[in-house]
Amino acid sequence: MELVEKKNLTELIGKARSAGKKRGFSQSIDLFVTLKDIDVKKHDLNITEVVFLPHQFSREAKVCIFATGDLALRAEKAGADRVVSPDDLEKFGAEKRNSRKLARSFEFFLAETDLMPRIGKSLGQFLGPRGRMPSPIAVNAPIEGIIGRYRTAVRIRTRARLELACKIGDEAMTDEHIAENVLAILSAVEKKLPSGMKNMGRITIKKSMASTVTASVMEVI
C-alpha cells in the first residue's frame, strides 16, 4: 500500500485545527474521503467496516453487550456501558421508543452468539439501518480486551456513495496521533476498494464547527 506520508498529513491536520474560532469545548475532527473511478454497477460500495484505531478519542466509544450468566458478569466488571439480559431484550422488542433510544445511545454492540437470532428479531429494524448490528462473541471470550478494543474503534460506511466519512480525533489529541488514526482508516478502506488507493480522490479534514481543509491523496503522498 502507498501510505500517505505522515508528515504531510500532519500538516494538513494542523491547518484544519487552526481553522475557525476557538470554542469552549474540544471539537471533534472528522475525515471525508471522496472515491473515484469506481463503476458502482459492477462493485458493491455498501461498505460497513469497524476500524480499530491506534489512538483513542478523549470521549471513549460506548459499548453495549447482550449477554447471560458469566459473560454478563464479566462484561459488567470490565466496564461495559450497558449489559442487556435476555429478559430486557424481550422488552425492547415490544417498546419501539426505547429500542430507538438504545440504538442511538451506543456506538458499538456486542452479543453472545446464541442471542444473535433473538436480537435480529427484536432489534434488527433499529440497529440494522444504522450499521450497528452486534458483533457475535463466544461465552468464553476475553471480554475485557474486546471492550478495550472497541473503545478505540470507529465505523466507516459508504452506503453506495462515492464518499466515506468518520471521526478521526478531537482537539485534545495531537496532530501526530490523529494522522496515525487517518492512516489506519485509509489502510482499511484500501482493502475494500477494487483498485485500492487509486480509487481515493480527495481527503477533506475539518473540525465540527469550522471550515474544511482539502487536498488530493496524491498531494499528501
Q: Which stretches of the chain are DSSP H helices? A: 6-18, 69-77, 86-94, 96-105, 116-127, 143-151, 175-190
pLDDT at 159 over 90: no
Domain 6-44+161-220, CATH among 3.30.1490.100, 3.10.129.10, 3.30.190.20, 3.40.50.300: 3.30.190.20
Taking residues 3-7, report their average pLDDT. Answer: 64
Query: Quick one: pLDDT at residue 183?
Result: 92
Q: Look at residue 23 and tell me whether its pLDDT is greater than 90.
A: no
Q: Residue 4 — pLDDT band, cuts 50, 70, 90?
A: very low
Grade residue 1 by pLDDT with cuts at 50, 70 and 90. Answer: very low
Mean pLDDT of the chain: 89
pLDDT higher than threshold 50 for residue 162 = yes
- In angstroms, the Cα distances linking 72 to 60, 85, 105, 197, 218 are 21, 8, 19, 41, 48
Q: What percent of the chain has pLDDT over 90?
A: 62
Greatest CA separation found in the chain? 54
Residues of each domain in the chain carrying CATH 3.40.50.790: 63-150
Interior angle at CA 7, CA 60 and CA 206, nearest 5: 50
Q: Is 40 helix (H, G, I), strand (E, B) or coil?
A: coil
Q: Work out the pLDDT band at 152, boundaries 50, 70, 90.
A: very high
Please tell me which of 28-42, 98-112, 157-171, 189-203 the model is most confident about, judged by mean pLDDT. 98-112
Q: What share of the chain has pLDDT > 70, as a percent? A: 96
Distance CA 40, CA 158 (A): 12
Res 142: pLDDT: 96
CATH architecture assignment, domain 63-150: 3-Layer(aba) Sandwich (3.40)
Q: State pLDDT tens for residues 187-198.
A: 999 998 989 889
The whole-number pLDDT of residue 148 equals 93
**Quick one: which of 204, 205, 200, 202 has its CA closest to 190?**
200
pLDDT at 221: 62
Give CA 202 to chain center in angstroms.
20
Cα–Cα distance for residue pair 156/154, rounded to 1 Å: 7
Q: What is the grid cell recorded at 54? A: 491506534
pLDDT at 66 over 90: yes
3-state helix, strand, coil in the chain (%, to 5): 40, 25, 35
Distance from chain centroid for Cα 18: 25
Q: How many helices (H) and strands (E) does the chain have?
A: 7, 10
User: Can you give the pTM of this predicted structure?
Assistant: 0.85
What pLDDT band is residue 2 in, cutting at 50, 70 and 90?
A: very low
Q: Is the pLDDT of residue 120 over 90?
A: yes
Q: Which amino acid is at 77?
A: K
Question: Is the model more confident about 10 or about 46?
Answer: 10
Task: Report the alpha-carbon distance of residue 215 to residue 202 in Å, rounded.
Answer: 6
Q: Which residue has the cell 469506481?
A: 38
CATH 3.30.190.20 domain locations along the chain? 6-44+161-220
